[in-house]
Structure formats: structure tokens, C-alpha cells
Amino acid sequence: MNALARWFGKTPEPVLAVEQAALRSDRFRLEREADWKRLEAIVTRMEKGRLSRVSDEDILALPVLYRTVASSLSVARETSLDAATLAYLESLAQRAWFLVYGPRAGLWGWFRRFLGGEWSRAVRSIGFDIAVALAVMIAGAVVGWLLVAGDPEWYGALIPEGLADVRRPGADAETLRGTLYGSDGEDGMSLFAAALFSNNAQVAILAFALGFAFAIPSLLLLVHNMAGLGAMLWLFDQAGLLPDFVAWLSVHGTTELFAILLAGAAGIHVGRAIAFPGEAAVLDAAAAAGRRAAQVMVGVVLMLIVAAILEGFFRQLILDPVARVALGSFMLVFWLGYFIAWRRGRSGLA
């Protein structure tokens, strides 16, 4: 630089600009570095789980220090300070943000809160929609029964081919009994159970997903799905096996159909909020309803997993109709008790 100065007689402008930028960066860092170092020390101790070593003063100062670093980062970007300072501030601001605004608990903590009251509270908050979905499902089952009772040709239209198999109008009682107690082979029962679960899982997801269209597709889907159940109830009733079929279905059905009921109600809740937002804006009403419905649907997934376990293991292990009904009834009482009586936790729903 001295050689250049002697050549030009003064310090070249590019060199002067670099010197001024370096001086400005040093001054900027010196004025604020104490706060940065304090925040970094607090963040490091909290990240390592050493909360006992963080004083009350530091805890109270954490949000203020974070805002100071965020402000420094903004200035550093605007004035194009050196890259090292900029990278340091970006990293520190990101780490501090997670401590100030990030989630306070991990996955296990969230799961405990969810099962400890958030899910049951979300279900209770859509009670009206559950009543509507239940009425629609019962009506669908009745319609399906009446349709096939009047004309058995309706059976093929209501029951998918993968579910029907030998369960068709005209099948003798022994054939139908074999589908309930395994005389047609475990493979046949397992395939039917898998197809039934897959169908019901799809219905549950679609009933919720289609709720945005003013809930009309959700209602139609519930009617169609339950009409198929009504048709199958009629089929086994004609063979004198209705109690046996209900016992077979109750093992997993009380959980599976309950999950469909909640999924349909969640879809109806979203659709109703969009169609009738009240005094709120449509988007605000839909967002609030969506948060409640999403809580319900997370639980629906858990219920479907439980139903799959019941269907895959207990249904094959328990062959006595009374024991099947007892297990199904226990699961129904369990879910009702959980949703109605379990009221712990704070409300986190909008």
C-alpha cells in the first residue's frame, strides 16, 4: 500500500474504501460484541441442557438479547459488513430463535399432551358435526338394507368386487358362516379383512379431505359407504347369521367405524365453516375449523392403527361370538369414555 501511495502521491480510493469498511466493521462489532457473547453463552448452556446454570436474569434477558442480535444482523446485511461477522450473526440468531419462539417440547411431549386432553377436546368441539355424521351414517345403512331388500341387484352396485367374493345374494348359510369362522381358510378371511380395512381407511381420509366442498362430498361418501354395510347386514340376515356377522364386525368395527364417523365429522366441520362462517371472514373461519379438524384426524389415524391390530390379530384369535361382542363393546366404551370424560390439559384450539 505504501508503494501505491508513493506512486499516486496519496492512498488510492479502492484501498481507502477497504480500510474504511474494515474500520466500520470493527467498530460495529466492538459496540455490540458483549451482547452477542452473552447471548451465545446463554444459548450454548440451554442447548446442552444446563438450565440450572442459566440465571433468572439471563432467562429474562434472552428475548431482549435475541432482538438485539436480530437488529445487528439486519444492519450487517444492509451495510455489507464482512462475511465472517454476517455468518456469525446469522447462526447465532437462528439458534436463539428456536429457544425464544421454537417448540417447547419434543415429539414425546407433544404426544403426551395430545393424548392427555388435546385430542378429546378437539373431538368434543365438533360435537354437532359428529351428530350430523352419525345420523347420515345410520341413514346410509338403512338405505342400503332397503335397496337390496327390494332388489338384490343393488348388492353388486353397493359392494366393491374385492369385498364381495363369496358374500353374494344366493350364497348358502355354510358358505357365509365360513367367512366368519374360518372354514373357508385363513387366507380368505385375511384378504377380506385387509380389503375392508383399506376401503374404510380410504373412506375416512376422503371424508375429511373432501369437506372443503361445503361438506357435500363427505356426506355422500358416508352414505355410500354405510349403504354397503347395510347391504351386507341384509345378506347375512337372510342366511340367519346377522348376530354372528355383527359379532365378527364388532371386534374391529367399533373402532374402525368410530374413526370413519370422526373423519366424516371433521370434513363436515370444515365444510360448514366455509359455508356458514358467521361474523368471521371465510378464510379465518376455515383456518380455525381446519385446526380443530386436523387435531381430530391425527387421532383418527391412531384409531385406524388400533383397528388394524384388532383386525389382524384378535379377530382371528377370538372365535366365540360372545367374546367378540365383549371385546367390541369394550373398545366402544373405551373410546366414548375417553372422548367424553377425559378433560385434562389447556385449550390450544382457536
Give 43-76 pLDDT, tens digit per residue.
Answer: 888 888 777 778 888 888 888 888 888 888 888 7
Q: What is the pLDDT of residue 189?
A: 53
Which of 204, 192, 201, 300 has the alpha carbon at shortest distance from 248? 192
Q: Which three cell numbers stand for residue 211?
A: 369437506
Residue with cell 431482549: 64
Q: What is the pLDDT of residue 14?
A: 53
**Count of positions (residues) in the chain:** 350
Q: What is the pLDDT of residue 102?
A: 67
Q: Which three cell numbers stand for residue 169?
A: 345374494
Quote the distance between the C-alpha of residue 25 and its chain's center: 48
Tell me the C-alpha distance between 120 and 231, whole Å: 32
User: Is this structure's pTM higher than 0.85?
Assistant: no
Which top CATH class is 2-100? mainly alpha
Q: Contact, 197 vs 189, CB < 8 A?
A: no
- Domain extent listing, the chain: 2-100, 108-341
Q: Which three cell numbers stand for residue 85?
A: 461477522
Helices (H) and strands (E) in the chain, counts: 16, 0
The SS3 of residue 1 is coil
**Percent helix / strand / coil, the chain, rounded to 5:** 80, 0, 20
Residues in the chain where the model's pLDDT stays below 70 = 1-25, 80-81, 102-106, 162, 182-196, 343-350
Quote the distance between the C-alpha of residue 273 and its chain's center: 19
Q: What is the pLDDT of residue 289?
A: 94
Which of 78, 74, 38 has the alpha carbon at shortest distance from 59? 38
Quote the distance between the C-alpha of residue 63 and its chain's center: 31
Return all residues near 136 (Cβ < 8 A) that are at least 6 apart: 219, 222, 223, 226, 264
Q: What is the pLDDT of residue 8?
A: 46
Torsion of CA 321, 322, 327, 332, to 10 degrees: 100
Q: What is the pLDDT of residue 251?
A: 93
Which of 119, 129, 130 has the alpha carbon at shortest distance from 291? 119
Tell me the C-alpha distance between 334 and 134, whole Å: 18
Tell me the C-alpha distance between 93 and 75, whole Å: 13
Which of 245, 260, 246 has the alpha carbon at shortest distance from 304? 260
Return all residues near 168 (Cβ < 8 A) that are at least 6 apart: 155, 156, 235
Q: Where are the alpha helices (DSSP H) in 213-281?
A: 216-238, 242-275
Q: What is the pLDDT of residue 4?
A: 45
